[in-house]
Amino acid sequence: MRVIVVGGGVVGTMHAWQAVERGHEVVQIEREAEARGASLRNFGQIWVSGRAGGEELDTALRARELWERIGAEVPGLGFRAIGSLTPVRGAREYAVAEAAAARPDAAARGYELVTAAQAREINPALRGAFEAALWCERDAAVEPRTAQLHLREALKASGRYTFLPGREVREVVGHGAVRDDHGDVHRGDAVVLATGAWLSGLVRELAPDLPVRRVRLQMMQTAPLGEQLTTSVADADSFRYYPAYQSEALDLLNAEQAQAPVAAAHKMQLLMVQRQDGGLTIGDTHEYEHPFAFDTLEDPYEHLTEVVESFLGRPLPKIRHRWAGVYAQCTDTSRVVHRQQVADGVWLVTGPGGRGMTCSPAIAETTANELGW
Distance separating alpha carbons of residues 143 and 33, to the nearest angstrom:
19
Residues 253 and 339 in one domain: no
Answer whether residue 50 is part of any domain.
Answer: no
Residue 154 lies in a domain: yes
Residues 201 and 235 in one domain: no
Residue 36 contacts by C-beta under 8 Å, 6 or more apart in sequence?
none
Q: How does pLDDT run along the chain (373 residues), one tens digit per residue? A: 999 999 999 999 999 999 999 999 999 999 999 998 999 999 999 999 999 999 999 999 999 999 999 999 999 999 999 999 999 999 999 999 999 999 999 999 999 999 999 999 999 999 999 999 999 999 999 999 999 999 999 999 999 999 999 999 999 999 999 999 999 999 999 999 999 999 999 999 999 999 999 999 999 999 999 999 999 999 999 999 999 999 999 999 999 999 999 999 999 999 999 999 999 999 999 999 989 999 999 999 999 999 999 999 999 999 999 999 999 999 998 899 999 999 999 999 999 999 999 999 999 999 999 999 9
pLDDT at position 253 is 98
pLDDT value of residue 334: 86
125 and 228 together in one domain: yes
Range of the structural domain that residue 226 is part of: 84-137+212-330
Question: Same structural domain for residues 129 and 222?
Answer: yes
Q: Are residues 34 and 132 in the same domain?
A: no
- Is residue 253 domain-resident? yes
Residues 231 and 321 in one domain: yes
CB atoms within 10 A of CB 334: 10
Q: Are residues 118 and 243 in the same domain?
A: yes
The predicted pLDDT at position 310 comes to 98
Same structural domain, 183 and 195? yes
Does residue 159 fall inside a structural domain? yes
Are 238 and 133 part of one and the same domain?
Answer: yes
Domain holding 340: CATH number? 3.50.50.60
- Whether 110 and 259 map to the same domain: the answer is yes
Residue 11 located in a structural domain: yes
Return the bridge partners of 86, or none. Answer: 134
- Asked whether residue 72 is domain-assigned, the answer is no
Number of domains within the chain: 2
Residue 305's pLDDT is 98
Q: Specify whether the CB–CB gap between 123 and 227 falls below 8 A.
A: no
What CATH number is given to the structural domain containing 123?
A: 3.30.9.10
CA-to-CA dists, residue 311 to 29, 89, 127, 159, angstroms: 43, 11, 6, 48
CA distances from 334 to 207, 337, 362 (A): 20, 9, 16
Is 75 contained in some domain?
A: no
Q: Do residues 239 and 323 both lie within one domain?
A: yes
The answer to whether residue 69 is domain-embedded is: no
Residues 227 and 292 in one domain: yes
